[in-house]
Structure formats: C-alpha cells, structure tokens
Amino acid sequence: MPKEKLAAGADHAGFRLKEYVRHYLGEQGYQVEDCGAFSEEPSDYPDYAEKVARRVASGEAAWGVLICGTGLGVAIAANKVPGIRAATCDNTLLARFAREHNQANILAMGGRIVDRATARKILDTWISTGFAGGRHARRVEKIAALELKEKSS
C-alpha cells in the first residue's frame, strides 16, 4: 500500500538536514513534496513554513517536516495557519508526546541543533506514535475552538 504524502521545507540553515530527511523518508516509501529551499542561499523561514503548513492544512500532505536553524522560527510561523499544530522536537521524548498528546501535524527540527542520527530517531518515533485521544482529544478540540474564536473576534 502506498504511504501517505508528506511535505518538507527548510530555510538555508535547515537545507542540508531537510535534504537528508527527504531522502530518509523517501527510502521508507513516503512521497515527499519538497517545498524548498533548494540551496543554502540565505532565505526566510516563514516562506517555507507557510508552504508546508498550507499543504498540511489542506490535506494535500498528511503531515510535514520543517527545519530552520533552531526549529523554533518555522514552528512559530507554521502555527499561524489554522489547523496546524507544529512542534519543535529535538529529542524522541518530545516527538512521542507531540504525537500522543498534541496530535502534532508538523515536525519542526533545528538543523543547528540535531544531527542526522538524532533526526532519524526523532522521525522514527514520530512515525510510530499515534494520537492517544481521550482527554487529549478534548484539549486538541479546544485549540481548534480557540482558532475559531480568534477568527470571529
């Protein structure tokens, strides 16, 4: 069975790790849309965060990966798009809880923070962890309700 479609993006500081991650996910059978950047030329992380976030919010991508220097800027920007729950994870415990408790749909990582082996482990955990539901579903629904409140205020 073909695997889910994903979207990946990074600025210059995350470019190399993004290339590695795309390759790693591709090897596992995922179809990963590359939303740029396409080089290490200085670029602005909100541009790639927006592209990946829109793919995920529209359902074109099941989930996404965003990488900047720290993983912070891309997550802050992506979280401005309704429906996005981007989580910066620099270890497997954060990846597990981001999925299990927060039903995160974008994994953000820092190209200057995590090395390739760590990124691989984080991805493996992210992929193999499902949403726990129950009380966590109620909380995630409250996040969606907050977005609606903001829209109508």
Q: Do the beta carbons of residue 66 and residue 88 sit within 8 Å?
A: no
Query: For residues 64 and 104, what is the distance between their CA atoms, to the nearest angstrom?
Result: 10
Which spans in the chain are helix H? 15-27, 45-58, 72-78, 92-100, 116-128, 135-152
Residue 45 is a binding residue for ligand RB5 (CB under 6 A)? yes
Is 83 a binder of ligand RB5 (CB under 6 A)? no
Instruction: Say whether residue 47 binds ligand RB5 (CB under 6 A).
Output: no
Using CB under 6 A as the binding rule, whether residue 11 contacts ligand RB5 is answered as yes
Contact 144, 122 (CB under 8 A): no
By rule CB under 6 A, what count of residues binds ligand RB5? Answer: 8
Instruction: Say if residue 42 is exposed, middle or buried (CB neighbours under 10 Å; 0-12, 13-18, 19+).
Output: exposed
Decide: is 132 part of the binding site for ligand RB5 (CB under 6 A): no
Map residues 12-41 to x or -, x wherever contact with ligand RB5 holds by CB under 6 A. -x----------------------------
CB of 97 to ligand RB5, least distance (A): 21
- Rule CB under 6 A: choose which of 17, 68, 89, 95 binds ligand RB5: 68
Active site residues: 68, 101
